[in-house]
Amino acid sequence: MKTRKIIVEVLRYNLEKEKGFVVSSASNGDEGLNLALQTKPSLIILDIGLPGLNGYEVCRALRREAATRDVPILMVTARVSESDKVLGLELGADDYITKPFGIRELVARVRSAISRRENERQAVEVFDDGRLYVHFGDYVLRFDGQEPKLT
Protein backbone atom coordinates (compact mmCIF):
# COMPACT_ATOMS: atom_id res chain seq x y z
CA MET A 1 0.00 0.00 0.00
CA LYS A 2 2.79 2.40 0.92
CA THR A 3 4.66 1.58 -2.31
CA ARG A 4 1.55 2.49 -4.35
CA LYS A 5 1.37 5.91 -2.64
CA ILE A 6 5.04 6.55 -3.41
CA ILE A 7 4.54 5.61 -7.07
CA VAL A 8 1.51 7.90 -7.30
CA GLU A 9 3.45 10.82 -5.83
CA VAL A 10 6.43 10.25 -8.15
CA LEU A 11 4.08 10.14 -11.15
CA ARG A 12 2.23 13.23 -9.94
CA TYR A 13 5.45 15.19 -9.50
CA ASN A 14 6.85 14.24 -12.91
CA LEU A 15 3.62 14.76 -14.86
CA GLU A 16 2.93 18.13 -13.25
CA LYS A 17 6.54 19.22 -13.78
CA GLU A 18 6.80 17.89 -17.35
CA LYS A 19 3.73 19.30 -19.01
CA GLY A 20 1.83 21.11 -16.32
CA PHE A 21 -0.72 18.32 -16.08
CA VAL A 22 -3.18 18.46 -13.21
CA VAL A 23 -3.13 15.05 -11.55
CA SER A 24 -5.95 13.56 -9.49
CA SER A 25 -5.56 10.22 -7.77
CA ALA A 26 -7.64 7.59 -6.05
CA SER A 27 -6.63 4.91 -3.58
CA ASN A 28 -8.97 2.16 -4.78
CA GLY A 29 -10.91 1.11 -7.86
CA ASP A 30 -14.33 2.33 -6.74
CA GLU A 31 -12.98 5.77 -5.87
CA GLY A 32 -11.05 5.93 -9.15
CA LEU A 33 -14.09 5.00 -11.22
CA ASN A 34 -16.23 7.64 -9.52
CA LEU A 35 -13.51 10.28 -9.89
CA ALA A 36 -13.11 9.55 -13.61
CA LEU A 37 -16.87 9.69 -14.22
CA GLN A 38 -17.15 13.01 -12.38
CA THR A 39 -14.13 14.77 -13.89
CA LYS A 40 -13.71 13.15 -17.35
CA PRO A 41 -9.90 13.38 -17.35
CA SER A 42 -7.71 13.74 -20.43
CA LEU A 43 -6.03 10.42 -19.61
CA ILE A 44 -6.23 7.68 -16.98
CA ILE A 45 -3.26 5.76 -15.59
CA LEU A 46 -4.75 2.63 -14.11
CA ASP A 47 -3.09 0.03 -11.87
CA ILE A 48 -4.55 -3.44 -12.30
CA GLY A 49 -3.92 -4.42 -8.68
CA LEU A 50 -6.22 -1.84 -7.10
CA PRO A 51 -8.14 -2.71 -3.94
CA GLY A 52 -11.92 -2.97 -4.40
CA LEU A 53 -12.66 -2.98 -8.11
CA ASN A 54 -9.48 -4.10 -9.82
CA GLY A 55 -8.04 -2.25 -12.82
CA TYR A 56 -9.64 -4.63 -15.30
CA GLU A 57 -13.10 -4.00 -13.82
CA VAL A 58 -12.52 -0.24 -13.75
CA CYS A 59 -11.37 -0.27 -17.38
CA ARG A 60 -14.44 -2.28 -18.42
CA ALA A 61 -16.76 0.12 -16.59
CA LEU A 62 -15.06 3.22 -18.06
CA ARG A 63 -15.43 1.89 -21.59
CA ARG A 64 -19.18 1.30 -21.06
CA GLU A 65 -19.82 4.93 -20.07
CA ALA A 66 -20.30 7.54 -22.81
CA ALA A 67 -18.46 10.19 -20.76
CA THR A 68 -15.26 8.12 -20.49
CA ARG A 69 -15.46 5.83 -23.51
CA ASP A 70 -12.84 7.82 -25.45
CA VAL A 71 -10.49 8.74 -22.59
CA PRO A 72 -7.07 7.11 -23.12
CA ILE A 73 -6.22 4.49 -20.50
CA LEU A 74 -2.66 3.42 -19.69
CA MET A 75 -2.49 0.30 -17.54
CA VAL A 76 0.47 0.18 -15.18
CA THR A 77 1.06 -3.14 -13.48
CA ALA A 78 3.52 -5.72 -12.23
CA ARG A 79 1.68 -8.40 -14.21
CA VAL A 80 3.90 -9.30 -17.14
CA SER A 81 2.26 -12.36 -18.67
CA GLU A 82 1.03 -12.13 -22.22
CA SER A 83 -2.49 -13.12 -21.16
CA ASP A 84 -2.65 -10.22 -18.67
CA LYS A 85 -1.49 -7.77 -21.33
CA VAL A 86 -3.93 -9.11 -23.90
CA LEU A 87 -6.81 -8.94 -21.42
CA GLY A 88 -6.01 -5.32 -20.55
CA LEU A 89 -5.85 -4.31 -24.20
CA GLU A 90 -9.01 -6.25 -25.09
CA LEU A 91 -10.90 -4.49 -22.29
CA GLY A 92 -10.02 -1.16 -23.86
CA ALA A 93 -6.65 -0.03 -22.48
CA ASP A 94 -4.69 2.04 -24.99
CA ASP A 95 -1.31 1.00 -23.62
CA TYR A 96 0.12 -1.42 -21.05
CA ILE A 97 3.26 -0.65 -19.06
CA THR A 98 4.89 -3.14 -16.72
CA LYS A 99 6.65 -2.32 -13.47
CA PRO A 100 9.38 -1.39 -13.02
CA PHE A 101 9.23 1.34 -15.63
CA GLY A 102 11.18 4.50 -16.35
CA ILE A 103 9.46 7.80 -15.60
CA ARG A 104 10.63 9.31 -18.91
CA GLU A 105 9.10 6.38 -20.81
CA LEU A 106 5.81 6.72 -18.96
CA VAL A 107 5.67 10.49 -19.57
CA ALA A 108 6.41 9.87 -23.27
CA ARG A 109 3.59 7.32 -23.45
CA VAL A 110 1.21 9.77 -21.74
CA ARG A 111 2.10 12.50 -24.25
CA SER A 112 1.72 10.05 -27.14
CA ALA A 113 -1.70 8.78 -25.98
CA ILE A 114 -3.05 12.29 -25.48
CA SER A 115 -1.68 13.40 -28.85
CA ARG A 116 -3.32 10.42 -30.62
CA ARG A 117 -6.71 11.25 -29.08
CA GLU A 118 -6.42 14.92 -30.03
CA ASN A 119 -5.59 13.93 -33.61
CA GLU A 120 -8.58 11.57 -33.72
CA ARG A 121 -10.89 14.36 -32.55
CA GLN A 122 -9.62 16.61 -35.33
CA ALA A 123 -10.26 13.96 -38.00
CA VAL A 124 -12.82 14.71 -40.67
CA GLU A 125 -16.32 13.73 -39.53
CA VAL A 126 -18.19 14.86 -42.63
CA PHE A 127 -17.36 14.56 -46.30
CA ASP A 128 -19.55 16.51 -48.71
CA ASP A 129 -18.62 17.18 -52.35
CA GLY A 130 -22.09 18.26 -53.46
CA ARG A 131 -23.15 14.84 -54.71
CA LEU A 132 -21.80 12.52 -52.05
CA TYR A 133 -22.42 13.24 -48.35
CA VAL A 134 -20.93 11.01 -45.65
CA HIS A 135 -21.19 11.67 -41.92
CA PHE A 136 -18.71 9.23 -40.41
CA GLY A 137 -19.77 9.80 -36.80
CA ASP A 138 -23.49 9.17 -37.42
CA TYR A 139 -23.02 6.61 -40.24
CA VAL A 140 -25.14 8.62 -42.69
CA LEU A 141 -24.63 8.35 -46.45
CA ARG A 142 -26.43 10.31 -49.15
CA PHE A 143 -25.80 10.32 -52.89
CA ASP A 144 -27.56 12.97 -54.92
CA GLY A 145 -29.84 13.63 -51.93
CA GLN A 146 -30.93 9.99 -51.61
CA GLU A 147 -30.03 7.62 -48.80
CA PRO A 148 -29.31 4.27 -50.46
CA LYS A 149 -29.94 1.07 -48.52
CA LEU A 150 -26.62 -0.46 -47.54
CA THR A 151 -25.82 -3.81 -45.98
pTM of the model: 0.76
β-pairing verdict for 140-143 and 73-77? unpaired
Domains of the chain: 2-121 (3.40.50.2300)
Q: Are 13 and 106 in contact (CB under 8 A)?
A: no
* Neighbouring residues of 142: CB distance < 8 A, sequence distance ≥ 6: 132, 133, 134
Longest dimension (CA), the chain: 64
**What is the predicted pLDDT for the residue at 123?**
66
**What is the predicted pLDDT for the residue at 1?**
60
Find residue 1's DSSP bridge partners: none
| Sequential pLDDT tens for the chain (151 residues) | 677 788 889 888 989 887 778 899 999 999 999 999 999 999 999 999 999 999 999 999 999 998 899 899 999 988 889 999 999 999 999 999 998 899 999 999 999 999 888 877 766 678 889 899 988 777 889 999 899 887 7
β-pairing verdict for 73-77 and 44-47? parallel
- Cα separation, 53 vs 100, in Å, equals 23
